[in-house]
Every structure is written in structure tokens, then in C-alpha cells.
A and B are shown apart, each in its own frame.
Chain A
Amino acid sequence: MTPADTIQILRSSLNSALKGKASVVDQVLICLLSGGHVLLEDMPGLGKTTLAKALADTIGGTFARIQCTPDLLPSDITGFSIFDPESRSFSFQPGPVFSDIVLVDEINRATPRTQSALLEAMAEGQVTVDNVRRNLSPIFFVIATQNPIDHHGTFALPEAQLDRFAMKLSIGYPDRQNEVLMLRDQPSTKLPRHQLQVSVSDLIALRSHTESVIVTPAICEYIVDLCRATRTKEQIRLGVSPRGMLTWKAAAQAHAVLDDRKFVTPDDVQAVMFDVFNVRLQGTYANLHDVVARLEHEIPVPIESQ
């Protein structure tokens, strides 16, 4: 299966699950292909779980859902060892983090200790339990959610932890036509089943293909110039870090793959700029769109290879 075919299958499957949100689907796919994770900040009932489950079903992977509460322990995420009296040994019970697709609902409700356990898994791709290092799924992908309005009893993610996410997205309410379609096509609340279409190996190959997308030195300099510009603006207290820069580059590569190209253009860099900034920029600005527009305007796009 070619990368284009894989992407086409993923797109159609996710778009059928989440109607009228093609851009969100693409952004999620960008995060998936770039090896990053996504933070969804949205109201309840907009389709976050549906999206995650659809994605898991499409790739035939395992899906786990973690509902964060203040009493959630790190071991509830990573897993734990229990003693088997018959074999008189400890056996490891893997936690939900060992699934392919993990939906972490209301991550800001978990305690910082629990958050760090998950975020460490996201960063390392492995967990250490009882001094034993255990690798996670090669396509380990986290969709974390948080409620934008209810802050009671929550523990906000610190900036350093936010930087581990590739993007922060918002699904938003569907438009009227799509809501009507939802009601007409789904008379019950039962979620549809999706057929297995893309294998894990296909996804791994797609990720590998994404990493091979060409990024010329001029494009690298362009990304660097933009990142450095974020660090000198008065309104921005915390700019894009080098890790964020690498994430940005990977996201731009994924965007190029979605466009069926083998190289990154300045448009790819600009297309993912807002979402990459959204999760990691901190400052006193009123509207991030203005910041992005100003930065886009300041740095000229490269028109030569180097």
C-alpha cells in the first residue's frame, strides 16, 4: 500500500466518524505521522472519544481510555506487578499506556505526579516499572483532552509538559448541516464499527516515509528564523524551544505527506505554525492569530534551496 493510499484510507475513515471536521482530521493525522501527540481542548461531547476510537479501529490497533481523576495513580497508567500465589512470582499487568491509541480524558484532573508518569511515557516511548524497562507500542499515540472552561479541582499542565505535545487542537461544534446529518445517519447513540483497513506496519511505513521527506537547508533556516522571532517578541514570554522546533519540522513534513509531496515547502511550515504555537507559546498577547500573522509577515519565505 502506498503512503497516499494509506492516508486516503485514514482520512476517509476518520472523516466518516467525525463529520464536517476535515481540517481537524488532517491535524490529527499530522500529529500521528510526525510521531507527536495531540492535546484536544474542547467541550464535552464534541467527538474526541469518537475520533480516538475511530482511529484505533482504522489501524486495527488497541485502544485504551484513561479517565483522569484526582485519585488516579501513576500505576493506573503504566501498570503494576501483582503477586501470583500459585507461581509465587510477580507478574506485570500492563496499564492502558501500552495500547496503540490512548485517549486521556481531562488530563488536567490528574495529579501532577500522575501527569508526569504519562508524559514521561509520551516522551520516552517506554515505561520503567519495578526497574524493568518496557517499550510501548511503536505507533503509540496519545490524544489528551481538557475542558477549557471548568478549572475547579484541576492541575494545569506546566509549560515544560505542554511542549511534549505536537499540537493543541480544538474540534469545535459541527455546523448545522452536519449536525442534521448526524441525527439522520445515527438514530441511536451507538457508535458505528469501522472495518480494519490499515495495518500497524502500514502506519509504521508511513511514519518512516514522513521522516524521509526532504527539508532543504533554506527551509530549515526559515523555521529557525521563525522560532527565533518568537523568542524576541515583547508579547511572547516563552517562545518555541528547540524541541518545539523539531516538532514543527516533523509536523511540516507530515503536512507535505498529506499533500502527497516528498518535500516541505514554506506553505507547509506556515500551515502548521498556529497549531504548533498554540500548545507551547506563552505570553501576554490577546490573540495568537495576530501573533502568527505578524511573524508570517516579518520573515520572508526562501526562494532558493540554500
Chain B
Amino acid sequence: MTGPQSLWRLPQLWMLLGASLLTTHAIAESAGTTLLLGILGGLLLSLAGGVIGYLLRRYATKVSKGDFILVTLFLLPVIADQVVRMVAHVGIGTEQCLIVGLNLASWWLIWHSTDVNRRIVMLSSLGTGVIAASLCQHVVSYLYVVWLITAIIWGLTSEARGTKAQRNALASILVAVVSGIFIVAAAATGRLAPHSLTGFIPGSGGSQLSDPFGRGGVGNGEGEVAATTKTEDIGFANTDITVESDRRTLYDAMSEMYGKPEPLTKAAPKHRKVVFWAKEMIEKPKTELVSPNASKGFSTRRGNGKAANSVSNTAAKALVYVSGRTPVHLPLTAYDSYIGEEWEPGRTYSESEIMEHKGNFWMQFRLAQWPNVFGAEEHHQIKIGILATSALPLPQQLISLRIDQLKEPDFYRWTQRGILCLDRVPLVPSGIRIDTVTRTFDLDKLNGHRLTPLTPDNRRHVHYRVPKTMDARVAALARDWTAGVPTGWPQVQAIINRLRTFARHDRLRSVPATESDALTWFLFKSKSGPDYLFATAATLMIRSLGYPARVVNGIYVDGKHKDSRTGHSIASLESLHFWCQVETEAAPNQECVWVNLEPTPGYVLASPKPTFADMARTVMQHSFRTFNANKVIVVIVGLLMLTAYALRMYILDALYTLRWQLRCLRRPNRIHVETMCLLDLRARIAGRPRKAATSHAKHFIRSPHAVFAANLILGIRDFERITYGLETDIPTVNLRMVAWRWNAQRLRGYLSK
């Protein structure tokens, strides 16, 4: 039998069908359409490809080599996408069009089923399947990948004997392993496979990987990419234009978030001129709140903060937008001195030669030589929204930095140690985008490092200073929490960990006016309060133990709020946060750095970015834990799988026989065809597959007069009489004998002679 029916027996057709479904599923997922549409799209693509291929094969016989058809089919989706974009203003990514085109061209090739064409189809299915799988997250995509893997293994192991079968088996294992990595990576992390495998497999412009061999990003929508080596590929292409009057200074933002510092004084209404597009001037009345203590300090005694449900639309009022791994702490102000009940910001700090231009507008920082205490490098992009700030909101431990096309170190200045700002620019312009490469401390590995020691020279240093008016119970509590704990980082960690469970975070709670000391009230009475009280308590308790610490205020981006289109994390007013930092040194007399600590429950420090080895270790540890917790089930399942593998030939044989029975029941007049199909299936699992171009007689009748194979020979002869001799009165006994007596095991022995 030739023509369309025989194609269904080709594993390459099933590969192509799986690849087509996976391709359209990836497109549907990226476009945000429903799963059903994705499946329908896949079937439609396959149907369209099949029909086109069939029609061309039947009518376009003059085009013997088919080069023109192949090229046309490959480029057809790209051309069609451009037309649809012009007409309907909708479209898909160019790379998606290309893999659709590859699928269409493959459908034409499958209709001209030669050895070479089938190999090409297999390779193209594998290629488009891997690309499409890397773009999918939905669990259905994993089913398509498993389908594709199964079809590829089927194709590689069919019609192969001897050493070729061994080579194809190895290739099958390779395919399964590579495809399995994508599935495991995506399933384990819940993210797109290239993002999960960043550093191992660079994604298509969206992996944020600084790879010297990586190409420029091709787009992830309308220009939002995260490539970091070429300025033209930078993300945040759509810059939100903000109105000047909507920008909030950090002081305004904190007042809105945590409540006004007491006491309050209302000033007379003022009018502020607002410029909009520089073309029209409108007058907008605005009442400013002025506090007599309106300095840069932060009072721990404040009015009522803003409830969460009254925060305005975060998408329109985002302080900053962040692209990259979250959570991330972006400090803006560091507070060194606790005077009265107010934290005073640190002094201005400047250091020459903080950085140098390393090319492509990247500024490289001088890095302290640390032993292995960091995770892998990671990339973030921060775009300033409505936040009016002079300090740059940057993650800690900067390695390199890029802002637009600024390439002179003089543009930058340390406002405080660890906090950078733009020199000569009072406020960072809204809409500006900042690229950073940073590294994150692995706190567990810091245990062996020394905190900047308390010496007679630095005893009076501000970071060690505890207010004289601080209640002695605070220091006693700190000593109590660290009793028996080794000095240094373990004690610091003990304070932090204890605080996280000791009190409850309540952002809206403020210190009653009747209380004389905010810290004492927080630690010994309320045991609940906003994050700045947690930071205050942690800093002062750590200082009381003789370690340098400070409070930091900035933005905490947890990644829970994301822009629906671009996927970037949004930092709103709720993202304002206080935490503390401790100073440590890489080695004696080496440079000191501030390390973030998070004492407030509900907020977490970013863990070091895992390397591929870390991820693999995590997966293995998770697997081991799962195994440990379910030993019996795992062992039973494992034994069952081993047994099934050992008996796979018999199991498959039984399934095929059942299939033969059902089909013969349904259509008894086709028992001859079904029996030969059963024989073919058994020969395949016996490792002696029949080639499609070899007749059953030639393949299965080794010796026409072999007595032990008499019923096999008779069965095949009966098949020939029915099929080619059109005889209708042949009894089916010989065919049934073939089905019941010649199982795969027996065939293997017979055909190997």
C-alpha cells in the first residue's frame, strides 16, 4: 500500500505532528490565548501542511526538485505575518514564523518520503521541537515534548540492525536526555527553560546572559529584551512619560507610606506649575505638608501609614520597574546615627577611582578580593518611574553598571558607602534605565569571615555607637539571644533569626504618643510594628554586641506585582522598606563592605543565584528527600518499572495482540492485513523490523520448506492469496495460527538464524 495511508506508519510523520503541535502551543502561550486554541492551531497547521504537501505532490510534479516549493513554504509564514501586521496590526515573533515555516516545509518533504527526506524531517522536527519547548511553560507542552521524544526514539530504533541500531539507540538516549533537561528545568523552576538554564543555554535575547558569543535579542513583544552586551538590544524600549508633578521624593513616599512624622503642621496651599509635553502649562493646586522636622532624618515615631487597599494603581504609579531575579533590595539611604528616636543619614562619602569604563558604556567597579562567598553573577535592569531620588536604586555588590551612554566615571559619586548617585544631577531622570551586574552574598559562607572588629580606634565610630538613652534591657535581650553562640556572624544571624520570630510585622501600627521609647515599646510591649522598628531593633542590638551595623531605607522588590505585558516587577509605595546592614571585611585590613540583613518577617534576602551545579544539586537533594519520604512507594514503583522493562517485549506483544483481536473483531474481512501488521510489530520489537520495501514473504520466509515454520509460511501464503490473488474463500486458520504461535520472542529466534 502506498500513498497517504502508508504515511501514518512513518515515525517521522508523528515527529512532525508533535513538533507542529508544540510550535503552535508555544505561539499560543506567548500570545496568551487559550490552550484549546493552541491545540486547534497545531492540528490546523498539520492539516494545512499535509494538504499543501499532498496537493503539491499530486499536481506540481513538474517541479521535480522542489527547491522553489521548499523555500516558498519556509518563508510563507514570515511573509504572511508581515502582511497581517500591516493590515490587522497583530503578529507573532519572527523566530516563531521561521519555525512554523520549517514545519510547513517539512510537511511537504514528508509527502516525498525518501530516506534523505525522512532524515531531514526528523532533524527539523527535533530542532523546531527543542526551540518551541524552550518557549513553553504550560504542563501540556511537556506532553508534546514526551510525544516528540517517543516518536524520535521510535524513528531512530526502527529499521535499524546491528551496529546501526546501537548507534541509533545512543542517539535516542541523547535526544531523551537533552529534551529531558528542558522539561526538568522548566518543571523544577516553573519558568521558561532558557531562563532556568541561563548560563548553560543562552536564550533568544531574553536570558539576561552576558555572553560574548550571544547574539542580539530578537524581541520579546515590542522591544522588551534583556540582552546586555549591545545597547541597541536593551530593554525598556517603551519609556513611560511621567509628569513631573507625580514624582515623589523619598521623603514624600515614606510619609505617605508610614505616616507623617509627628508633629504635623499644615502649610498654606500653594500652586505649582506643571509642565506637560512642554506645550501647555496647567496650574494644579497642591497642598504640601511640612513638618518642622523636615530634615533628611527618619523618625521612628510617626502617624498612621497608608492601608494597602488605598494604594493607587501600581501600574501607573510605580516607583521603579525591575527586570531580573527577585526579591532584591535596592538601598537609597543609609542611616548611621540614632539620635533621640530618629535615625540620621550617614555623611556624604566620596571615593576616587570607584570605577572605570570597560567598553560599551559599562562602568566596572573595583572589586574586593573575596574568597568563594558569592553566588553567580546576575543581571538586573531598573527603570526609574515616579520616584524622585538622587540616589540610584541599585542592588548591592555591584560589579558593573551602565546608564544609557554615560561613560565617564566623573558622572558618578558615592553619596554614602554602598550607595551611588549621579553627580551634578539633583534627581535621577524619570524613565532612565540602569543595567547592573551584581553578585549576592551567600550568608552561610560568610560565617568564617570576620566582622569589622571593634578596636580602640573605632570604638567611637558611629556604626558601633549605641544611644546612651537606650534601655539596658535591649542589650540584655541581645546577650540573652546570643548566649552560647560563637562570636561574629553566628551572633548576628542569631539576632536576625530571633527577631523574625519574636515580633509580628504590622505596617500600620505606630508608637502610641504615651510611650516614651519606641524601641522599648516595640520589643517589650507590643512585639509588633512596622519594618523600621525591626530594623532599628536589629541594628541597635547588633551594635550592643560590638558589631558595626546601620539601618538602610530603600525599595524591596519581591516580584509579586508584575507588569502583565512585559513581566517586569513593579515597585510601588508598598515596596518601600527598611532593613539593616552589617559591615564585614574580606580579609584583615582589606576593604569592608556592607551586607544586607533582613530582620522583618515576610521579607527575605535574595539567595545567591544558583549555578547550574547548584540547581542540579538542589534537584538531586529534592529528589533524595522525596525518595526518603516515600521509600516504599519508590521501591515498589522502581521494581515495577524494572520488571516492565525486563518484560517489555512480552508486554508490548500482549498489547499488540489485544489490538489485533479488537481490530479483527471490528473488521473480520481484514484479518489478513491485521495479521501481517501484527507480525510487523512483533518483528520490530524483536529487533528484526521489516523494511517497507520488502515483502512479508521475503522477510519472514527464510527457508520455504522449514517444517517448524510451516504455519508461518502457510499464513503468509494465505495473505498473498487474499491480497494479491483476490481469493475470498481462504480459511483464516493459518492466519490465526500465525497470530497466536509466532510471538516476538519466537520471531526473534527464527529471524536471527
Contacts and interface: CB of A to CB of B under 8 A. Distances in A.
Q: Do A and B bind each other?
A: yes
A214 B725 contact: yes
Contact of B697 (A222, A265, A296): A265
B64 interface: yes
A297 interface: yes
Contacts of B692: 300-301
B604 interface: no
B2 A299 contact: yes
B723 interface: yes
A265 B724 CA distance: 6
B138 interface: no
A300 B690 CA distance: 11
A297 B693 CA distance: 5
Contacts of A299: 2, 693
A159 interface: no
Instruction: Name the residue among A261, A296, A303 with the largest chain B CB count within 10 angstroms.
Output: A303
Contacts of A112: none
A190 B79 CA distance: 81
Contacts of B676: 303
A301 B724 contact: no
A265 B721 CA distance: 9
B260 interface: no
B114 A225 contact: no
A262 B727 CA distance: 10
Interface size class of A (residues with CB under 8 A): 20 to 34
Given A221-B2, A299-B2, A300-B2, A305 B723 contact: yes
A232 B726 CA distance: 32
Contact of B2 (A225, A270, A296, A297): A225
A267 B697 CA distance: 8
B726 A216 contact: yes
A72 to B, nearest CB: 43
Contacts of A263: 720-721, 724-726
Contact of A298 (B115, B722, B724): B115
B693 A302 contact: no
B724 A300 contact: no
A219 interface: yes
Contact of A266 (B64, B114, B695, B726): B695
B698 A262 contact: no
**Which residue, of A219, A262, A298, A300, has the highest number of chain B Cβ atoms within 10 A?**
A300
B727 to A, nearest CB: 8
Contacts of A261: 725
B516 interface: no
A142 interface: no
Contacts of B3: 221
A9 interface: no
A264 interface: yes
A297 B724 CA distance: 21
22 contacts: A216-B724, A218-B2, A218-B723, A219-B724, A221-B2, A221-B3, A265-B720, A267-B698, A270-B695, A297-B115, A299-B693, A300-B1, A300-B2, A301-B694, A302-B2, A302-B723, A303-B1, A303-B676, A303-B696, A303-B723, A305-B722, A305-B726
Interface of B: 1-3, 6, 64, 114-115, 673, 676-677, 691-698, 720-726
Given A265-B695, A270-B695, A297-B693, 14 more contacts: A214-B725, A216-B724, A218-B1, A218-B724, A222-B2, A262-B725, A267-B695, A267-B698, A296-B693, A300-B2, A300-B693, A301-B695, A305-B724, A305-B726
Interface of A: 214, 216, 218-219, 221-222, 225, 232, 261-267, 270, 296-305
